[in-house]
Every structure is written in C-alpha cells, then in structure tokens.
C-alpha cells in the first residue's frame, strides 16, 4: 500500500467516525424520522444521474437490503438521541459479531475455535459497556442499538449476493428504495414537526445533510477504489480504527467523557471483533464498504 492510499484509507475511517458526530448533532436539531427522510431523499436525487438499473432479481434483492438498511438507520438515529456518540461507536462494532452468528445460522458457515473465542470476548465486552452512565440512564437505547446492528448485519449478509453493481448505483438505489418509506414514516410519527421546520437551525442541519449526502457517500466510493488496488487484508484491518475515530471525534467535538466501563468494555469488544475480522478477512471483500452508515 502506498503512503497516499494509506492516508486516504485512514481519512475515510475518520470520515465514517465523524458520521456519528454528524448524526448526533442532527437528531438534536430535527426529529430522527424527518432527518432520515431528508437524507434518503437528497442522496437519491444526487445519485440519480449515476444509477444503472441492474437485473430484476438484483433489484428485488436491493429492495430487501434497503429495508434492512433503513431499519438500521432509523434505530441508529433514535439511539443517538439517548446514547453518547462514543458509546455508539463501540456498539456498532457488534455488527461483525452478529454477522458472524447470522452467517452460521442462515448460510450454514462453519466457525473455528478462534472465531468462537472472538465472539465470546466481544460479547463479554458488550456486557461490560452496560455499566456506562448513558446506558444506565437509557437501557432501552442499548437494546435499540443492538437491534440496529443486527439489522446492519442482515444487510451485510444479503449484500454478499450482490456482484457487479457500481457503488454509485448501490448508494442511489438503496436510498431511493428507502426514501418513500422514510417520508411516510415521518408523516405518521412526527406529522406536526414538519410544520415547524422553519424554527430549526438550518445551518447545522444543512451541514449535517451535506456531510452525510456528499462526503460520507463519496467516502464509500473511495473505499471501493482503495479495495480494488490494494490487498483486502491490509485495507480491512484499518476498519478497526473506526471506533477509535468515533470516540476521539465525540470527545473533541461533542465534549463527551469516557467512563471506565466504556473503556474496558470497548477494548474487549474491539479485541473480539479483531479476532473475528482478521480470521474471516477474505470472506468480507464483497461487503467491505459500509454503505449502510
């Protein structure tokens, strides 16, 4: 890997970590259902010119994946109304643990002793994070966060069956399928809030939407390009820096404090994820870019 590609890979990881901060800011300005509806709709419009419709079978599969992605996003946005960004940065890593378990249950994949140890260590780490102050105040946030990561894991499991779809098409169609449902959901859950959008801080909301629609979306395309010209193992090992990036950015920009339970639980979770990820590295090439974030 060249120094340039290493820099771009680390930059992408920090952009993904910054997405947690962006969502955290956004959901305190606009109700989560409305923010999601705006994000999905704007992303669809931006990528509409680049969409190349795939075969009918793949289109149906994309619609199913979009449903899982939308569920993940809805729960993630609601969670960040309750939990710290640093906490979510750790909990999101459980997606790899759940994806491994779902691969065992749905795809009949075999898991080795090393993977079993990694899963055990990772889930023990998740249990330790329950001692954090924000999770103690909002245990429902912890539950929603885990359901959100399970939805994301299901998204990844199904994405393994997608091949030869350009990243811009994938982003455009996934958001396009999710946008109508998100708009309807927001009109049902928060109908009156649409009438008060003139009272929100549109500078903050505009920056959040620009970050998610433009910067985060482009980062996924950049990540695919990095995977195409570098060894997958080297690139994917850097994904383990994502929670570190999220925690550092939450501390620097949101002025969050780190509780010992989060530190120790987070470290154990990351160790477990590292064991599973490094063991299963080649199998994750097709779903390396986190298009669901």
Please answer whether residues 24 and 77 qualify as being in contact, where contact means their C-beta atoms are separated by less than 8 angstroms: no
pLDDT tier at 289, thresholds 50, 70, 90: very low
Region 174-189 average pLDDT: 92
Helix (H), strand (E), coil (C) string for the chain:
CCHHHHHHHHHHHHHHHHHHHHHHHHHCCCCHHHHHHHHHHHHHHHHHHHCCCCCHHHHHHHHHHHHHHHHHHHHHHHHCCCCCHHHHHHHCCHHHHHHHHHHHHHCCCCCCHHHHHHHHHHHHHHHHHHHCHHHHHCHHHHHHHHHHHHHHHHHHHHHCCCCCCCHHHHHHHHHHHHHHHHHHHHHHHCCHHHHHHHHCCHHHHHHHHHHHHHHHHHHHHHHHHHHHHCCHHHHHHHHHHHHHHHHHHHHHHCCCCCCHHHHHHHHHHHHHHHHHHHHCHHHHHHHCCCCCC
Q: How far apart (Å, rounded) are the C-alpha atoms in residues 223 and 93?
A: 18
Task: Please say if the pLDDT value at position 53 is more than 70.
Answer: yes
The domain spans of the chain are 3-287
pTM across the whole model: 0.83
Please answer whether residues 252 and 17 qualify as being in contact, where contact means their C-beta atoms are separated by less than 8 angstroms: no
pLDDT tier at 113, thresholds 50, 70, 90: confident
Percent of the chain with pLDDT over 70: 92
Region 51-70 average pLDDT: 85
For the chain, what is the largest distance between any 2 Cα atoms, rounded to a whole number of angstroms? 56
Q: How far apart (Å, rounded) are the C-alpha atoms in residues 230 and 9?
A: 11
Please answer whether residues 60 and 161 qualify as being in contact, where contact means their C-beta atoms are separated by less than 8 angstroms: no
> Which of 100-109, 229-238, 255-264, 270-279 comes out lowest in average pLDDT?
229-238
Q: How far apart (Å, rounded) are the C-alpha atoms in residues 155 and 165?
A: 16
> Which of 4-13, 65-74, 85-94, 128-137 comes out lowest in average pLDDT?
128-137
Q: How far apart (Å, rounded) are the C-alpha atoms in residues 258 and 271?
A: 18
Q: How far apart (Å, rounded) are the C-alpha atoms in residues 293 and 290?
A: 6
Give the pLDDT confidence score for residue 183 in this predicted structure. 94
Give the pLDDT confidence score for residue 291 in this predicted structure. 45
* Residues contacting 251, CB < 8 A, separation 6+: 86, 257, 258
Percent of the chain with pLDDT over 90: 28
Best-predicted range by mean pLDDT (52-56, 145-149, 241-245): 145-149
Task: Please say if the pLDDT value at position 242 is more than 50.
Answer: yes
Task: Report the 10 Å Cβ neighbour count for 220.
Answer: 22
Looking at per-residue confidence, does 53 or 232 come out higher? Answer: 53
* Residues contacting 228, CB < 8 A, separation 6+: none
Please answer whether residues 80 and 24 qualify as being in contact, where contact means their C-beta atoms are separated by less than 8 angstroms: yes
């Amino acid at each position: 890997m060249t120094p340039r590609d290493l820099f771009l890979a680390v930059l992408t990881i920090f952009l993904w970590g910054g997405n947690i901060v962006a969502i955290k800011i956004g959901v305190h300005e606009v109700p989560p259902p409305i923010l999601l509806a705006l994000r999905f709709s704007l992303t669809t419009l931006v990528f509409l010119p680049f969409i190349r419709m795939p075969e009918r079978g793949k289109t149906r599969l994309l619609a199913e994946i979009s449903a899982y992605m939308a569920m993940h996003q809805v729960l993630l946005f609601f969670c960040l109304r309750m939990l710290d960004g640093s906490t979510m940065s750790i909990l999101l890593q459980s997606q790899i643990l759940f994806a491994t378990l779902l691969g065992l249950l749905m795809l009949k994949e075999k898991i080795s002793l090393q993977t079993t140890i990694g899963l055990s260590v990772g889930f023990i780490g998740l249990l330790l994070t329950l001692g954090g102050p924000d999770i103690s105040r909002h245990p429902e946030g912890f539950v929603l966060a885990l359901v959100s990561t399970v939805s994301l894991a299901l998204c990844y499991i199904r994405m393994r069956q997608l091949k030869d779809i350009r990243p811009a098409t994938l982003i455009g169609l996934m958001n396009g399928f999710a946008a109508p449902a998100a708009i309807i959901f927001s009109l049902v859950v928060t109908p009156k809030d649409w009438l008060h959008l003139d009272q929100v801080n549109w500078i903050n909301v505009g920056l959040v939407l620009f970050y998610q629609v433009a910067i985060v979306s482009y980062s996924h395309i950049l990540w695919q390009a990095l995977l195409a010209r570098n060894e997958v193992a080297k690139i994917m090992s850097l994904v383990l820096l994502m929670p570190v990036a999220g925690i550092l950015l939450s501390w620097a920009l949101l002025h969050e404090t780190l509780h010992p339970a989060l530190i120790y639980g987070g470290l154990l979770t990351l160790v477990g994820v590292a064991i599973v990820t490094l063991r299963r590295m080649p199998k994750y090439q097709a779903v390396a870019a986190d298009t669901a974030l």
